[in-house]
Amino acid sequence: MRVLGVDPGLTRCGIGVVEGVAGRPLTMLGVGVVRTPPDGDLGSRLVAVEQGIEAWLDEHRPERVAVERVFSQHNVRTVMGTAQASAVAVLCASRRGIPVALHTPSEVKAAVTGSGRADKAQVGAMVTRLLRLAAMPKPADAADALALAICHIWRAPATSRLQQAEAAARAARPARLPGGGTTVRKVIP
Amino acid sequence: MRVLGVDPGLTRCGIGVVEGVAGRPLTMLGVGVVRTPPDGDLGSRLVAVEQGIEAWLDEHRPERVAVERVFSQHNVRTVMGTAQASAVAVLCASRRGIPVALHTPSEVKAAVTGSGRADKAQVGAMVTRLLRLAAMPKPADAADALALAICHIWRAPATSRLQQAEAAARAARPARLPGGGTTVRKVIP
């Protein structure tokens, strides 16, 4: 499976492409950052992010795109830019029919380091080791994008098993009554 | 001046097209809503919003696009969707080279009703009156999009005067010294 990870941002949008399957050594196919000038107007920055991501999709033709899920807990201004850059990434992939998965920062950290509260240095160190790189990818946004791609490859089998289990549970669930209640079957021994 | 206003949203994205100049009666050229299913995945919703906005831009060829500026004060989930839909609107316009202006909700309310704290009904009533419509545009997102376009047409001369004044002030400002200080001219009587 070839996955393009995106750590969304307007000033620095990290991109990392990883190929492999869970349980086997992974290969990095590319890593980089799409940058736009902080003093540029929003429109030209979004257009530059779109052009950058399109170029990466053209070059690597990933089967999946993994984007960091944005939360609003942090700095308001930063979060707006992140949400807008992530929208562009999701749009570019979906327009091509490439399935998009969103992973939270703690899911990504837990996947590559074993801890959902790992710091940037720890994530960077594990990405370097897992992809057998000579040096840690810089800046952190680039390393984070690779971590997202690794997370997606490793979580894919679990996600698929979960979806199967949910589908099986839906099929086995007792029929809902019109009033919104469910049929309850009491098992009398 | 022909302005396309966008009240961004993933479930309902309001669109309104208004033509005119400040100080003269305005004309509504079109109003509507781009809808996407709330249970759809983010990617296909963003693609649907893009296609909807592109269709409106194709049909009306506006000279300016006015989009509501998104704040993060409200409900977190809603704001993320709004930020993402607004990114798509800004992207579509900028890709065509159409200048984009962002107006805050209170700027829009103040422009059409005289009060930055006016409610939806008041905004809708004024939009109906100002555009000489037979009935209030529904839903509120559609009326808000028209209000954004009206706000932009009316604020344009003020914005332009402000920009001229700022440019004049910059030209008249004493030269900055390399150390970041400014030359101070003392006027001794």
Model confidence pLDDT, tens digit, residues A65-121: 999 998 766 666 678 889 999 999 999 999 999 999 999 999 999 999 999 999 999
Q: What is the pLDDT of residues B34-88, one digit of tens each?
A: 999 999 999 999 999 999 999 999 999 999 999 999 876 666 667 888 999 999 9
Measure the CA angle with vertex A141, ends B93 and A18; round to 5°: 95
| Phi and psi at residue B27, to the nearest 5° | -125, 130
Of B43, B76, B83, the CB nearest to A90: B43
Residue A147's pLDDT band, with cuts at 50, 70 and 90, is very high
Residue A164: predicted pLDDT? 66
Regarding predicted confidence, which is higher, A153 or B177?
A: A153
Helix (H, G, I), strand (E, B) or coil at B179: coil
Residue A179's pLDDT band, with cuts at 50, 70 and 90, is very low
ipTM of the complex: 0.78
Do residues A110 and A39 lie in contact, with contact meaning Cβ atoms separated by under 8 Å?
A: no
Domain ranges of chain B: 2-172
Does A47 sit within 8 Å of B91, measured CB to CB? Answer: yes
A79: chain B residues, CB-CB within 8 Å: 72, 83
- Indicate the class that CATH gives domain A2-172: alpha beta
Of A72, A88, A100, the CB nearest to B80: A72
Nearest CA in chain A to B78: A72
What residues of chain B score a pLDDT lower than 50?
Answer: 174-189
Q: Residue A185: is its pLDDT beyond 90?
A: no
Q: Which long-range contacts link B49-55 to residues 24+ away (Cβ below 8 Å)?
A: B49/B10, B49/B13, B49/B85, B49/B88, B49/B89, B50/A91, B50/A95, B50/B88, B50/B91, B50/B92, B52/B13, B52/B15, B53/B6, B53/B13, B53/B15, B53/B88, B53/B89, B53/B92, B54/B92
Helix (H, G, I), strand (E, B) or coil at B24: coil
Helix (H, G, I), strand (E, B) or coil at A180: coil
B144, two tokens:
């808000």
Pseudo-torsion of CA A170, A171, A172, A178, nearest 10°?
Answer: 70
